[in-house]
């Protein structure tokens, strides 16, 4: 279990690094994903993988879904994910905006909240998940059901519903609900886009022994590679499918890439322990994802000239990735340093990063 959690922390660190790298591209280099094969590929799996890991970690086998414990859990999530996001988003807009009130109003009406949508949407996912588990737990106790099968059934049901809702985002001729202000302002459009991966991660953790057996088969990984290649190839290059079917290969590629990343880190978990440098490095980032996510926007350098050069010299996949990740490492380093400075204050440590001061006996 210790090794498994280590590689999972490393995977989370890798995902956070990919998130920052993508922001270096889009904001720092001012580069559109369609001009970068590396960025287009990262966009396919970086956020789905992040939500997958969040869902995976949300499952607590021994948790009792009673009123007291559940409300305590919700209270902690509200403190950790709402207050820091609002404070740091406000500070970021105050420091970078030419028109504070105009930019703040625009941010609140935007589904992505000037980049600070992730923690708010993740909170929505947790609240829905807690409601599902609470209801399922009550039904299982009431009717004396065993092995928590009803919880699994409910989660699969919501997974199907979330995939169906997600598909409507890419059927503009049939569905237009996501264009209305309410759904954009509440970021529910982003919830609908990503909730399926949260649920998938949770279900994988619930059936982890079976999933490990599946990962150890000789046929699963080649199939994932094939699906990822065909799906990403059609989405990025070939465009063989049209109209309402056009998003299908993209979605299949997202699922395949997420599972490939999980399978890779699990298979090479010996690389990602504290005894290995790469393991220590990625775990260091992985356990500080909230701090890095909230603070890295302050340290994204503006280098549009690099974006222009990459656009004029396409198909430099390796060079694009190396340059962007190199710059991203500096943004991560400054974010971590700032986090450590702010954590000197117990008050800021608690209310900005959700960490209580440890009591010394």
* Spatial distance between the Cα atoms of 194 and 177, rounded to a whole number of angstroms: 17
Instruction: Summarize pLDDT for 75-90 with one digit per residue, the tens.
Output: 999 988 999 999 999 9
How many structural domains compose the chain? Answer: 1
Any domain includes 22:
yes
Any domain includes 26:
yes
* Nearest CA-CA partner of 49 in 170, 211, 196, 187: 196
Query: Which pLDDT score is estimated for 10?
Result: 96
Contact indicator for 291, 353 with CB cutoff of 8 Å = yes
Q: What is the model's pTM?
A: 0.94
Decide if pLDDT at 225 tops 90. Answer: yes
Contact indicator for 41, 28 with CB cutoff of 8 Å = no
Any domain includes 308:
yes
Any domain includes 12:
yes
Arithmetic mean of pLDDT, 101-105? 93
Instruction: Summarize pLDDT for 161-200 with one digit per residue, the tens.
Output: 999 999 999 988 888 899 899 999 999 999 999 999 999 9
Q: Whole domain around residue 333: which residue ranges? A: 2-353
Which residue, chain included where needed, has tokens 């994988």?
204
Query: Which pLDDT score is estimated for 1?
Result: 45
Contact indicator for 87, 235 with CB cutoff of 8 Å = no
* Nearest CA-CA partner of 290 in 323, 339, 328: 339
Decide if pLDDT at 3 tops 50. Answer: no
Contact indicator for 290, 83 with CB cutoff of 8 Å = no
Per-residue confidence at 263, pLDDT binned at 50, 70, 90?
very high
What's the chain's average pLDDT? 91
344: three-class secondary structure by DSSP = coil
Any domain includes 358:
no
Decide if pLDDT at 222 tops 70. Answer: yes
Any domain includes 180:
yes
Any domain includes 359:
no
Span of 15-19, 145-149, 335-339 with lowest mean pLDDT: 145-149
Within a 10 A sphere around the Cβ of 270, how many other Cβ atoms?
Answer: 12
Per-residue confidence at 358, pLDDT binned at 50, 70, 90?
low
Any domain includes 318:
yes
């Amino acid at each position: 279990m210790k090794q498994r959690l280590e590689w999972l922390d490393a995977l989370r660190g890798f995902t956070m690094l990919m998130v920052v790298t993508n922001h270096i591209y889009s904001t720092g280099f001012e580069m559109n994903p369609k001009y970068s094969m590396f960025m287009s590929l990262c966009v396919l799996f970086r956020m789905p993988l992040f939500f997958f890991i969040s869902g995976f970690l949300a499952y607590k086998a021994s948790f009792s879904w009673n009123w007291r414990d559940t409300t305590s859990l919700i209270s902690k999530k509200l403190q950790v994910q709402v207050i820091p996001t609002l404070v740091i988003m406000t500070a970021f807009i105050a420091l970078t905006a030419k028109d504070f009130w105009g930019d703040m109003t625009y941010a609140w009406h935007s589904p992505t909240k000037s980049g600070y949508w992730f923690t708010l949407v993740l909170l929505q996912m947790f609240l829905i998940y807690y409601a599902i588990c609470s209801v399922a737990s009550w039904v299982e106790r009431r009717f004396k059901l065993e092995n928590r099968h009803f919880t699994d059934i409910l989660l699969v049901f919501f997974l199907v519903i979330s995939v169906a809702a997600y598909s409507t985002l890419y059927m503009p001729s049939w569905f237009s609900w996501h264009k209305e202000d309410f759904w954009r302002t509440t970021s529910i459009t982003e919830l609908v886009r990503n909730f399926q991966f949260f649920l998938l991660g949770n279900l994988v953790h619930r059936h982890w022994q079976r999933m490990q057996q599946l990962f150890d088969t000789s046929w699963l990984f080649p199939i994932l590679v094939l699906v990822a290649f065909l799906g990403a190839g059609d989405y990025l290059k070939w465009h063989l499918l049209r109209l309402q079917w056009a998003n299908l290969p993209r979605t299949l590629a997202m699922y395949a890439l997420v599972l490939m990343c999980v399978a890779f880190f699990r298979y090479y978990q010996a690389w990602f322990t504290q005894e290995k440098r790469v393991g220590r490095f990625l775990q260091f980032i992985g356990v500080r994802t909230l701090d890095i996510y909230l603070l890295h926007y302050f340290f994204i350098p503006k280098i549009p000239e690099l974006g222009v050069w990459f656009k004029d010299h396409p198909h430099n996949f390796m060079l694009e990735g190396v340059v962007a990740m190199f710059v991203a490492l500096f943004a991560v380093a400054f974010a971590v340093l700032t986090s450590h400075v702010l954590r000197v204050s117990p008050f800021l440590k608690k209310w900005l990063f959700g960490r209580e001061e440890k009591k010394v006996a």
